[in-house]
Structure 1
Amino acid sequence: MLDNLALGFSVATTPANLAFAFLGCLLGTLIGVLPGIGPVATMAMLLPITYSLSPIAALIMLAGIYYGSQYGGSTTAILLNLPGESSSVVTALDGHAMARDGRGGIALAIAAIGSFVAGSFGTLALAAIGPMLAGVAQNFGAPEYFSLMLFGLVCATLLAAGDFLKAIAMVVAGLLMGIVGTDVNSGASRFTFGTVNLSEGIEFVIVALAFFGLAEVIGNLVQQSHRHGTISKVGRLMPNRTELRESAPAIARGTILGSILGLLPGGGAVLSSFASYMFEKRISKNPERFGRGAIEGVAGPESANNAGAQTSFIPLLTLGIPSNAVMALMMGAMMIQGIAPGSAVMTTNSSLFWGMVASMWVGNLMLLIINLPLVGLWVKLLSVPYRVLYPCIVVFCCIGVYSLNSSSFDVYLASALSVCGYLLVRLGCEGAPLILGFILGPLLEENLRRSLLLSQGNPSIFVERPISATFLALILVMLALFLLPSARKQREEAFQE
């Protein structure tokens, strides 16, 4: 592992890759600070730019945006009670209470320290677990990949916020959108409605920009509220020994919990931060302190969301399965570069895999250095009116879509899908299950058909092979547990809390 990390640092520390890591971290912090512009929308907007970059530079920059946004969201959540990122919502509960008491600087420092510790641990977990999972994946065939992808979609559906049936509907919609185009085996056109422009299918970039870029803009314009708030006094930045001693166990617990939840399909930063806050509150001897400035309520969730962000790369890079919408975009970026996500990345392109791993630690160090000194600058960015931001976002999205094929049809299609995306959000449907269904749909179909060809049409191949049968059994267990009234009630209470 040390030799592989040495290879990774030799790749990550080249001037060009350092520059892209810094750019990604800076952009991530920026969009984390600004409410209404999340990492998914930003990464979707930047996907067309990655065509002109080297694979390692593109992935380093996009990864920096993801974990950088976790840092940025905590700054405004603590000082202004305005979470820039959904994973920072729980940080605002105790972080802003600390800021009102004149301890805003301590809350920011604890958030930064916890994030760095968790990010470093997540990077080491990726370096340690990645090769082992990649070795297991070498034994996977078409039936195993089909069952694994089905397991991932079921997990993403069960862990999605909101109504279960709506999450299923969004996954099915994504699967149907994924099979639009020409069938590779038969050459028949499917769901093209006689339009030549759809014969090659719907571009991933178009769907990502429509549902996570343009639809977000429409939603923010309709529901825009005045983002005014009193900036709390930062105060001293360095926590004392007592504060470090109180926060250290929460940082450790949040790091471990976030690292585990980040591995799960449907998990990641948001689920990790909420789970950590609820866990810290339940094990506390004085739970009434939470919401009134408990330092554990900042240390735990901030560590968990960064650990979850780092370890969510493990299923993508080793098994080729995106665990959340951000990882689906990363998978799309890899496919744009001609890289098939999965265990082959580590064997055929080891410099890319280990370069990404090393760049995550470098990026976390950059974030630790640039965030605290620039607190004042990030807070001032909130004074930029949204009416100035949204035309720039719309124009940038349209240029990105048009640049794919120099086709105005793509722009019209993205516009139509963005309206659909906004209406689905108003109906309480999440976009994450749809994008996961869209990107896994063609792969799911390909492995299903390949499996049935191998077995001459006999579906028992999925239960005769041990690994495939294990994933199918896990699906049945999860569905059985979810159907229990107590489990469904706990899920609803967790998301409401």
Structure 2
Amino acid sequence: MDIISNLAYGFSVAFSLNNLGFAFIGVLLGTLVGVLPGIGPVATISMLLPITYVLSPVTGIIMLAGIYYGAQYGGSTTAILVNLPGESSSVVTAIDGHQMAKRGEAGAALVVAALGSLFAGIVGTILIAAFGPVLAQVAFAFGAPEYFSLVVLGLLGSVVLAHGSAMKAIAMIMLGLLFGTVGTDVNSGASRFTFGNLNLIDGFDIAVVAMGVFGIAELMRNIEDPPQQNLVANKVSGLWLSAKQFKAAAFAAIRGTAVGSILGLLPGGGAVLSSFASYTIEKKVARDPSRFGKGAIEGVAGPESANNAAAQTSFIPMLTLGIPATSTMALMIGAMTVHNIQPGPMIMTKQPDLFWGLIASMLIGNVILVILNLPLVGIWVKLLKIPYRLLLPAILLFSAIGLYSLENSTFDVMAAFGFGLFGYLMVRCGCEPAPFVLGFILGPMLEENLRRALTISQGDPSVFLTRPISLSLLVAAAALLALLVAPVFRNRREEIFQEAD
């Protein structure tokens, strides 16, 4: 009954005119960036972080969340219609979805993607409501040693699921930890790595870093290699399913939702990994695996449900433990800290309107997505024809305005472009920027809990091994490290992400 009463309170928050309006804006923008290649939710959220500074914490997070799960949906539309996945998690959807479109079943593929996403989104949101409070109660047993060990586990987990070389991912995390120490030490009050520059006294703003390494770096890469925009989709008709199609898709959606709900909790690429895992499972359980790749409806329903379920459940560790499962969740934490909100087990008691309002808004947002997007399929496809040379200057202009509005400082604008160049060069060197941002955000938490634990134990490092929860987390971290070293796992990991690319 507590869940029902809490959800009722959440709906009262989410149904306010302001929050409902920004939830609509969020899912609309999310669908747009999912449809348009070369932008993506991470870059968009990083560019829109400054807007949340003038919104209430609840409204701002609701809008950013809408962008995230809206993009998961939008990426499937162009994957099906023009074989151009807007999101990496939609790569698998394109395999069978576009084949269905080529034989005149685009409407059925879009309906399956929409209903599968809706079902997975609702189930994922209910899981947040059900297990979020339970996990938060467990988190009350966490002290400084446990939080330190949890951050270590989260960072290593992001290495396991990061694209490219594991050593490069570790190096990016270390760089992120280093940049996170810039500013004033909260313990001693001493300035660190500011080089006498007063603009660095408070360190780098998360919006500056994120907008640079994700948004501006992405624009630089698109200048070098503009996205394809000359593909023409067939006319979409027949937005319905036969009884046979519905039955096949329903079981695939249920399996995909189960896979995504579990893998979404993992740090790193939960949505991408979930869609690939779901597709593999569907081929294994199919009576005729040869249909896959030729327009099997299960190959659309399973992966779409999996990536949307993963997008929802990735909020659980972020909200209850303060540990981001993905780079997008790291940006969510950044948006919360701007409003002096610390994600973790106390958020449900100190900020119940944010926690339950966000959950209720996800249920509403997933319904809005289906109602909004099926009639607008034609419009989304036409947007693909807008020349990128017109989109680029507009995006840069609004990014610069948003950066300047943070502190009315040209330093923030220059710093973001510096991080943009850094992010661009890192990608050219085969390094992924997501571990860098995770290290930047989690670094202060790692340092604070390390120093606090050693202060309590009077400098005895065995405190991390004598406490059961901390020891268990460190053992899990050591197991992940062993996986990174194992050649079989390393080769399989590289094969999976090569397929995703």
Q: TM-score range by the shorter chain?
A: over 0.9
1:391 aligns with 393
Say yes or no: does 1:244 pair with 2:234.
no
On the 8 A contact 2:100/2:109 being kept in 1, the answer is: yes
Deviations 1:115-170 (A, max 9, x none): 00000000110000001001001111111100001100000011111111111111
Question: Alignment partner of 2:25: what SS?
Answer: helix
Deviations 1:366-385 (A, max 9, x none): 00101101111111111111
**Distance in structure 1 (CA, Å) of the matches to 2:483 and 2:390:** 48
**Distance in structure 2 (CA, Å) of the matches to 1:117 and 1:9:** 19
1:337 aligns with 339
- Output aligned runs, 1:475-490, within 5 Å: 475-490=477-492
**Distance in structure 2 (CA, Å) of the matches to 1:392 and 1:481:** 44
**Distance in structure 2 (CA, Å) of the matches to 1:124 and 1:67:** 15
TM-score, normalising length: structure 1: 0.98
- Output aligned runs, 1:468-479, within 5 Å: 468-479=470-481
Say yes or no: does 1:228 pair with 2:230.
yes
2:20 aligns with 18
**Distance in structure 1 (CA, Å) of the matches to 2:287 and 2:435:** 38
Deviations 1:223-277 (A, max 9, x none): 1144211212323110011001111111011100000011111143222112212
1:100 aligns with 102
Q: Which residue, 120, 133, 136 being the options, matches 1:131?
A: 133
1:39 aligns with 41
Say yes or no: does 1:371 pair with 2:373.
yes
On the 8 A contact 2:30/2:70 being kept in 1, the answer is: yes
1:52 aligns with 54
On the 8 A contact 2:37/2:227 being kept in 1, the answer is: no
Question: Alignment partner of 1:372: what SS?
Answer: helix
Q: Which range moved further: 409-418 or 113-122?
A: 409-418
Q: Which residue, 274, 277, 290 being the options, matches 1:275?
A: 277
5+ residue gaps, structure 2: none
TM-score, normalising length: structure 2: 0.97
**Equivalent position amino acid for 1:137 in 2:** A
Q: Which residue, 402, 405, 408 being the options, matches 2:407?
A: 405
**Distance in structure 2 (CA, Å) of the matches to 1:435 and 1:225:** 25
5+ residue gaps, structure 1: none
On the 8 A contact 1:100/1:233 being kept in 2, the answer is: no
On the 8 A contact 1:267/1:308 being kept in 2, the answer is: no
Q: Which residue, 330, 338, 341 being the options, matches 1:328?
A: 330
Deviations 1:176-222 (A, max 9, x none): 11001121222322222222211211111100110111111000010
**Equivalent position amino acid for 1:283 in 2:** V
**Equivalent position amino acid for 2:484 in 1:** F
Q: Which range moved further: 74-83 or 282-291?
A: 282-291
**Distance in structure 1 (CA, Å) of the matches to 2:218 and 2:35:** 16
- Output aligned runs, 1:117-128, within 5 Å: 117-128=119-130
**Distance in structure 2 (CA, Å) of the matches to 1:11 and 1:416:** 39
**Equivalent position amino acid for 1:156 in 2:** S
**Distance in structure 2 (CA, Å) of the matches to 1:271 and 1:337:** 32
**Equivalent position amino acid for 1:327 in 2:** M
**Equivalent position amino acid for 2:115 in 1:** I
**Equivalent position amino acid for 1:334 in 2:** M
- Output aligned runs, 1:1-400, within 5 Å: 1-400=3-402
Percent identical: 61
**How well do the aligned residues superpose, as a CA RMSD in angstroms?**
1.1
Deviations 1:73-110 (A, max 9, x none): 11111001111111111111111010000000000000
Question: Alignment partner of 2:384: what SS?
Answer: helix
**Distance in structure 2 (CA, Å) of the matches to 1:487 and 1:394:** 41
Say yes or no: does 1:452 pair with 2:454.
yes
Per-residue deviation, 1:290? 1.6
Q: Which range moved further: 233-242 or 123-132?
A: 233-242
Q: Which residue, 414, 433, 448 being the options, matches 1:431?
A: 433
Per-residue deviation, 1:14? 1.3
Per-residue deviation, 1:175? 0.6
**Equivalent position amino acid for 1:345 in 2:** I
On the 8 A contact 1:99/1:233 being kept in 2, the answer is: no
**Distance in structure 2 (CA, Å) of the matches to 1:195 and 1:349:** 36
On the 8 A contact 2:229/2:386 being kept in 1, the answer is: no
